[in-house]
Amino acid sequence: MSIPYWGDDSHLENNWSGSRNKSLTSILAVLAQEPDSGVITYGDTTIRHDGQSRVAVEFLDFYRANDTDNTLKYLIFDSKFTTYENLRKLEDAPTPIKFITIRRRGPKIIDELNALPASEWTSIRVTAADGKGRTVRVHEEIIFLKGYDKNIRQIAISGTRRIQPALIITNDFDLPLKDILRKYARRWLVETEISEQVHFFHLNRVCSSMVIKVDFDLTMSILAHNIYRLFAADLPGFSHQASASLFDKFMDNSGKVIIDDERVTVVLHKKRNVPALLHALDRFQDKPITSINNLKFRFVADSSS
């Protein structure tokens, strides 16, 4: 993602801003997300054009330095984040990493795919997490990839003849085709989170003229996002709600605070989702807070409107 920069430092590069539909002087940032929890585990605002292709390897180095148990087994990322040579580094790592990424399409590759007879394509329906899905045409083959210097699994995906096929490449030869497509589709969750960073946390409207401040803005935005995700994990039925929805349903409320010698009581005004919120807060009821003289906190719902 690109974060617009409004200072006057001329050393920054121009990057495409999709929300403004033009190229802007901006800071290029990369985010990594754990797909099950939605928590963003990595952010970097020091990406330059000549370093984009090293992002996947640098992320792996960062993760390995902070993950002594080597729990990272799978990476799904944009094709700009690596080269075929760096893909081989993931394959040859002490603990090999399975990966799924997009292969860049040249005119020759497109012509070869368009020339394939209809019998070489298979129609499959890919089901999303919400139960919905779509039917796509796929062509799968094993190819030798120069630079990677090894065989790799390539999957061409086409919705209609009017859209050029997309190419997925992976070193996972065992996972069924539908699962590969479903797994890669989850990468778009990151795109959703970036959209949320922009529209809810206003990340592309930072006004600082200091580069370090923009970096701090991203850090605080990630922190706020992760707090919302951890909060959502404690709310049955709301774990996949976006931060904006969580704010509207639970945070955007009023009430009153009553303080006595032993306790701080927060009385929340009536709202549809207050019972779910109180249930999530139940384990914090009457817990002493050492930083405020061991006062206990209690959360209750107002008995009147």
259: its two tokens: 């303080």
Single-letter code of the amino acid located at 37: S
Bigger pLDDT: 146 or 213? 146
Show me where the domains of the chain are located: 2-194, 253-301
Tell me the average pLDDT of the chain: 82
Residue 30, strand partner residues: 44
Segment 58-85 mean pLDDT = 80
CB 20, CB 6: distance < 8 Å: no
Band of pLDDT at residue 132, cut at 50, 70 and 90? low
Q: Which of 67-71, 188-192, 256-260 has the highest mean pLDDT?
A: 256-260
Out of 32-46, 67-81, 87-101, 222-236, pick the least confident.
67-81
Give the whole-angstrom CA distance, residue 240 versus residue 233: 8
Contacts with 181 (C-beta within 8 Å, 6 or more apart), sequence order: 124, 126, 136, 138, 155, 157, 168
Checking if the pLDDT of 64 tops 80, the result is no
Q: What is the pLDDT of residue 100?
A: 92
Band of pLDDT at residue 211, cut at 50, 70 and 90? low
Mind listing the pLDDT tens digit for each residue in 282-292?
Answer: 988 988 888 88
Q: Which contacts of 180-184 are long-range, i.e. CB under 8 A and separated by 24 or more positions?
A: 180/100, 180/153, 180/155, 181/124, 181/126, 181/136, 181/138, 181/155, 181/157, 182/126, 182/127, 182/128, 183/74, 183/76, 183/100, 184/76, 184/100
Q: What is the pLDDT of residue 153?
A: 96
Checking if the pLDDT of 131 tops 60, the result is no
Q: Which contacts of 253-257 are long-range, i.e. CB under 8 A and separated by 24 or more positions?
A: 255/302, 256/302
CB 289, CB 297: distance < 8 Å: yes
Q: What is the pLDDT of residue 128?
A: 59
Checking if the pLDDT of 220 tops 80, the result is yes
Bigger pLDDT: 269 or 192? 269
Mind listing the pLDDT tens digit for each residue in 6-54?
Answer: 666 556 777 766 666 777 777 778 888 887 788 888 888 778 777 788 8
Residue % of the chain over a pLDDT of 90: 21
H-helix or E-strand containing 138?
A: strand 133-145
CA Rg, the chain, in Å? 24
Band of pLDDT at residue 230, cut at 50, 70 and 90? very high
Mind listing the pLDDT tens digit for each residue in 235-264?
Answer: 988 888 888 899 999 989 888 999 988 899
